[in-house]
Amino acid sequence: MRFLHTADWHLGRSFHGASLMDAQARWTDWLLVTAREAKVDAILVSGDVYDRALPPVDAVRLASETLARLVEVAPVVLISGNHDSPTRLGFGAELFARSGLHVTTDVARVGAPVLLGDTAVYGIPYLEPDVARPLLDVEDRGHGPVLDAAMARIRADLADRAAGTRSVVLAHAFVAGGEASESERDLAVGGAASVPASVFAGVDYVALGHLHAPQRVGERGRYAGSPLAFSFSEARHRKSVALVDLGTGIPEVELVACPVERGLAILRGPLEALLADPAHAAAEAAWVQVTLTDAVRPVEAMARVRDRFPHAVVLSFEPEGAAALAENSYAVRLRGLDDRQLAAAFVEDVRGEGPSDAEQALLDEAFLAPRVAEAVR
């Protein structure tokens, strides 16, 4: 059995204000050709089809056209991610299944596989802990308990199937040990963000989504990664899809590199040097992030940068000799903090001490409320 594993399309996303729709459309054309030439038996899409719960019309149209073309090649098994609206993405799932498009967004259906030959393919949509707990009869908060409960249902179903039945699980989660990037939405509100790889023990292949860097997790798990870069933290990623051959042992995985329509370049130095240095010629066609180190901020800096690098989208200033000051700057102190930590830091800055346990609970509830509302829409 051969699968094509992909994830995190984020249709409708922009890159620092620049639309990616055309690039995403060309990538879906490439995906169709790749699936057809590889003669796959199924296509796995591990969540985050869209970039937000209410996607733009163009993104919905592209998703519809892409999935209709893919099912002509092979059955498609798809789950919702934390960016998707389960209700919207799951609309018409029963009807679509008749055409070979199997969409799992309903937590109650965890444990009911799509059967492809002698392989049972189970979908676990993204589980917002406080939404999934009552549906899975879980008392403890956090991502680990709800995923444990979902996998318990899968193992129970698998145990009742014929000996030799192979198993694949699609899941959208942050598995401990995975390499994150700046473009993933934090999952921490509602419990610990990460889960151990051991949660998925007992299945032949785990097709993961959420982290945007292609990477292996354990012997049988893999993040497909996003098809395009969505932040400069992904400058070193080699985007790909995974062709997975499922036999009786460890799955054999071949990574097929995605086409790079526009690369990423991170430049640093004085303005005049950056504009004159021939070593930066390749960056002229790339998305560019520039950090200027001039002692005095140059006049019309972005306009001058774009004279040479027309796709420059980020410009910052770090004057040389100001390192000691920068180390204590407000921006540096806040760098890397999630929303919950930022709120706590704000409270401490305002009144001299951080929030009490009761206040932190109120802050957590405030951050969680829109996510719960989004998850049930």
pLDDT in tens, 72-131: 999 999 999 999 999 999 999 999 999 999 999 999 999 999 999 999 999 999 999 989
Q: Is residue 46 part of a domain?
A: yes
Q: Answer yes or no: do 217 and 336 share one domain.
A: no
3-class state of residue 55 by DSSP: coil
Q: Answer yes or no: do 335 and 190 share one domain.
A: no
The residue among 320, 343, 364 that closes a domain is: 320
Q: Is the pTM of this model over 0.75?
A: yes
Q: Answer yes or no: do 211 and 83 share one domain.
A: yes
Q: How far apart are CA 230 and CA 264, in angstroms?
A: 10
The residue among 294, 320, 346 that closes a domain is: 320
Question: DSSP labels for 226-243?
Answer: -SS--SGGGTT---EEEE
Q: Is residue 274 part of a domain?
A: yes
Q: pLDDT digit string (tens) for 355-376?
A: 888 888 788 778 766 666 555 5
Q: Is residue 325 part of a domain?
A: no
Q: How far is CA 225 from CA 178, 180, 263, in A?
A: 11, 10, 16
Q: Is residue 234 part of a domain?
A: yes
Q: Answer yes or no: do 281 and 202 share one domain.
A: no
Q: pLDDT digit string (tens) for 40-60?
A: 999 999 999 999 999 999 999
Domain extent for 70: 2-257
Q: Answer yes or no: do 168 and 312 share one domain.
A: no
Q: Is residue 91 part of a domain?
A: yes
Please state the domain count of the chain: 3
The residue among 282, 297, 320 that closes a domain is: 320
Which one-letter DSSP state was computed for residue 286?
A: S
Both structure tokens of 340 = 């919950």
Q: Answer yes or no: do 238 and 360 share one domain.
A: no
Closest Cα to residue 50, out of 93, 7, 16, 92?
A: 7
